[in-house]
Structure 1
Amino acid sequence: MAKKELHIISTGEQTMDELVHIAACTHQYVDYIHVREKNWSAKQLYEVIGRLVEAKVPLSKIILNDRVDVAWARGVSGVQLAHHSMDVKSVYEAYKGLRIGKSVHSIQEALAAEREGADYVLFGHLFDSGSKLGLQPKGVEELSRVTKSVDLPVIAIGGIKPEHVENVLGAGAAGIAVMSGVFRSVNPVYSVKEYTAEMKRFHRTSSWTNRQNKLFIMRGG
């Protein structure tokens, strides 16, 4: 079974010092850290990536929201595109080697992102979320339909708590993305470890189940 990814995403509420501190404390436990600061200038984004590197956060773990130019200039792992960003196809053609994620909210949007060359999609919001007040959550069943409709990895986002991890990954998600669950936590390291523990538990359980199923088939059950 492929390793499931854990993404953490800044909320736009932290100072630059706070963002760097949280990322420096948690990066060893996560796969990717998204810098999602919609109100920061290109200069500020360029600066924070430099500070993250100084804090020993690997460039290979940093994903920048929207600003393809800064992501390319700083040599980070990838860029997360929103509905208002450059289209996936243009980024794919102009910035070779940059990992491209696309935020989607439906099967149709996920299929379009796949056709255009996205490396993965971020699908949500899954559960009630403070950042999506008043909007109906998509739910695990819709996530399952999306994961079955596309071949590229689907990362689930939106109100995901540790107790949701098993159902979310069981619906076919290639990983989970967490915003407030880490960046608004009073103890970000503890919170990240809660998520990683649930993800490891899911992997162990799934691996055992797969082995049992293979034995059953081999025995002609």
Structure 2
Amino acid sequence: MEIETRKQLHVISTGKQSVEELVKISKSIYPYLDMLHLREKQWTGKEMAVAIDRLVKAGVPLTKLCVNDRADIAFMKHVRGVQLGHQSADISLVKSAFPSLKIGASVHSLEEAQLAMDKGADYLLYGNVYATSSKPGKTAVGVASLVNLVQSIPVPTIAIGGITPNRIREIMQTGARGVAVLSGIFLSKDPIDSARSYYKELHKEVR
């Protein structure tokens, strides 16, 4: 299914685990995910390509893989998409060069979201919605800000930052399309149980 049409659970690698750990965990949790983001800033292009091969060999579908920043690697390895941030190449340039990729944009304000939409982003990652250990000291944007963005920007928005299973109901009531999780799954004592918990809460009916 297209990313625009269903509730989404995105899981983002933490940069704190070996390739072996990453592959082992991903193999067990991927049935519950819609997108697995490889956010490994220290990896070379070669290391990223090898990791993708290992994930695919372990059974993770290419259609569930997203590479952060490296649109060239994402394209060459035929993964689903690329996630772009402020340090990345311009969204419109990437979209023009690699039209087959789903392009996500990481944004932190309504202004950034508007610009990303104008340049052709397929979806947005917005946050951090709550305070999070992943970004110590960074003020949370808050749920009200998420509501404002969702109501103002028609591009599907995935909420990120400090999201636990018991906060998913609140997030989904804003009109966001889904949630993105880092340490809550990959650094959990039981990643598969955590992935199930997020999935279960995400797919409950919002009343």
Normalising by the residue count of structure 1, what TM-score does the alignment of the two structures yield?
0.90
Secondary structure of the residue that 2:82 maps to in structure 1?
strand
Q: Confirm whether residue 103 of structure 1 aligns to residue 112 of structure 2.
A: no
Q: How does 1:116-155 map to 2 (within 5 A)?
A: 116-155=119-158
Secondary structure of the residue that 1:122 maps to in structure 2?
strand
Runs (5+) with no aligned partner, structure 1 = 207-221
Runs (5+) with no aligned partner, structure 2 = none
- Work out whether residues 172 and 206 of structure 2, in 8 Å CA contact, stay in contact via their aligned partners in 1: no
Matches of 2:90 and 2:178, distance apart in 1: 23
Matches of 1:197 and 1:118, distance apart in 2: 28
Identity of aligned residues (%): 43
Matches of 1:18 and 1:156, distance apart in 2: 26
Cα offset, 1:196, TM superposition: 1.0
- Work out whether residues 173 and 206 of structure 2, in 8 Å CA contact, stay in contact via their aligned partners in 1: no
Per-residue deviation, residues 140-198 of structure 1 (Å, max 9, x unmatched)? 10000010111110000001001100001111110000000001001000001111111
Partner letter of residue 93 of structure 2? S
Matches of 1:99 and 1:8, distance apart in 2: 16
Secondary structure of the residue that 1:130 maps to in structure 2?
coil
- Work out whether residues 75 and 98 of structure 2, in 8 Å CA contact, stay in contact via their aligned partners in 1: yes
Matches of 1:68 and 1:30, distance apart in 2: 21
Q: How does 1:20-31 map to 2 (within 5 A)?
A: 20-31=23-34
Bigger-Rg structure (1/2) = 1
Matches of 1:115 and 1:125, distance apart in 2: 22
Q: Confirm whether residue 192 of structure 1 aligns to residue 195 of structure 2.
A: yes
Cα offset, 1:3, TM superposition: 2.4
Partner of 1:170: 173
Matches of 1:121 and 1:161, distance apart in 2: 19
Matches of 2:60 and 2:117, distance apart in 1: 29
Partner of 1:5: 8
Matches of 2:6 and 2:197, distance apart in 1: 17
Q: How does 1:197-208 map to 2 (within 5 A)?
A: 197-201=200-204, 204-206=205-207
Matches of 1:146 and 1:103, distance apart in 2: 13
Normalising by the residue count of structure 2, what TM-score does the alignment of the two structures yield?
0.96
